[in-house]
């Protein structure tokens, strides 16, 4: 069974999508449609913008989504997924590719999500940190311990065994990093992000996005999506909708997602979009698995 996976924020780079735009009339049409929908020429920033411009959340999220989904559309009938999943923002790309969402609706939701998350970041200064080579249970226990002091610290991304990302208040994350290093973490590295994604601190964004998601048509997908919140296969449109709302404040269970896809019969993984981060994570989760990127 063929599994297709889609990257999230952080995989962007200057020049992304330019080759697609220039070589495929279909891609060019879709990029121009996206410029019209967004109300600004995101292609100018994607193709020639600085790293700083590309890092702005209102640009990054639609840019990564567009690169993934337009690439998928140019593959045409060569792409027939048996199952899909996306890391955080990548879940929207997965839902456009398995036809749960139309291209236009998914792009509008991604844009609204980016703006809502940016607002939530500005409301409460917060951050995230990568924790390497420490047992998940130890990381979870230390996060819970620090949270008892009145700070917010939670596990946000289960990327692969020995690689977790934690999310929360600036003081809470700094304290947790010290404790995690003392407990044996190889690295406890503060990430250059705008805020505490996938934590309770994104609640204002979740509330804002909820109305937009509930007002959007979710179709019967052509194959199951393995969602971040549950790590399980979902094909029911209303359940997909509910999980997508919960995703903003819940952890990304990527390790569990890949393990479940393999248990359900995935024989190969193909990453669609900028970068090769996810295929690397797949190999770390199961070294025997075939993983590639387009």
Computed from CA positions of residues 275, 277, 283, 286, in that sequence, does the dihedral angle turn out positive or negative? negative
Fill in the DSSP letter of residue 220: P
Contact 8, 62 (CB under 8 A): no
Q: Helical H runs in 51-200?
A: 51-54, 57-75, 90-97, 103-123, 136-147, 170-182
198: annotated active-site residue:
yes
SS3 of 64-99: the string is HHHHHHHHHHHHHHHCCCCEEEECCCHHHHHHHHCC
Residues paired with 269 in a beta bridge: 3, 291
Q: Apex CA 242: angle with CA 192 and CA 291, to 5°? A: 55
Gyration radius from the chain CA atoms:
18
Catalytic residue among 87, 111, 198, 199: 198
Query: What is the distance between the alpha carbons of residues 257 and 248, in angstroms, rounded to a whole number?
Result: 17
Query: What is the distance between the alpha carbons of residues 227 and 240, in angstroms, rounded to a whole number?
Result: 8
Residues paired with 32 in a beta bridge: none
Query: What is the distance between the alpha carbons of residues 151 and 4, in angstroms, rounded to a whole number?
Result: 37
Query: What is the distance between the alpha carbons of residues 34 and 256, in angstroms, rounded to a whole number?
Result: 33
Catalytic residue among 11, 67, 68, 88: 88
Query: What is the distance between the alpha carbons of residues 193 and 140, in angstroms, rounded to a whole number?
Result: 21
Q: Cβ of 153: how many Cβ atoms within 10 Å? A: 29
235: annotated active-site residue:
no
Beta strand pairing call for 163-169 and 126-132: antiparallel
Residues with catalytic function = 88, 198
């Amino acid at each position: 069974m063929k599994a297709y996976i889609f990257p999230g924020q952080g995989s962007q780079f200057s020049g992304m999508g330019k080759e697609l735009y220039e070589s495929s009339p279909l891609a060019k049409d879709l990029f121009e449609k996206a410029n019209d929908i967004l109300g600004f020429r995101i292609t100018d920033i994607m193709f020639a913008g600085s790293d700083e411009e590309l890092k702005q959340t209102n640009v990054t999220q639609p840019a990564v989504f567009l690169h993934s989904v337009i690439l998928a559309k140019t593959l045409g009938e060569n792409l027939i997924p048996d199952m899909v999943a996306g890391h955080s923002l990548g879940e929207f790309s997965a839902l456009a590719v398995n036809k749960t969402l139309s291209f236009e609706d998914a792009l509008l939701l991604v844009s609204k999500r980016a703006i809502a998350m940016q607002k939530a970041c500005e409301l409460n200064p917060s951050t995230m940190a990568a924790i390497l080579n420490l047992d998940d249970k130890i990381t979870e226990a230390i996060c819970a311990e620090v949270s008892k002091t009145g700070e917010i610290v939670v596990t946000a991304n289960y990327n692969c065994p020995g690689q977790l990302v934690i999310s929360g208040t600036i003081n809470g994350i700094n304290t947790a990093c010290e404790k995690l290093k003392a407990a044996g973490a190889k690295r406890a590295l503060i990430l250059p992000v705008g805020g505490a994604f996938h934590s309770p601190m994104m609640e204002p964004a979740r509330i804002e996005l909820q109305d937009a998601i509930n007002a959007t048509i979710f179709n019967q997908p052509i194959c199951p999506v393995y969602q971040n919140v549950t790590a399980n296969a979902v094909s029911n449109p209303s359940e997909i909708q509910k999980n997508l709302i919960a995703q903003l404040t819940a952890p990304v269970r990527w390790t569990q997602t890949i393990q479940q896809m393999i248990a359900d019969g995935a024989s190969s993984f193909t990453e669609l979009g900028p970068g090769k981060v996810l295929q690397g994570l797949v190999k770390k989760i199961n070294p025997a698995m075939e993983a590639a990127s387009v």
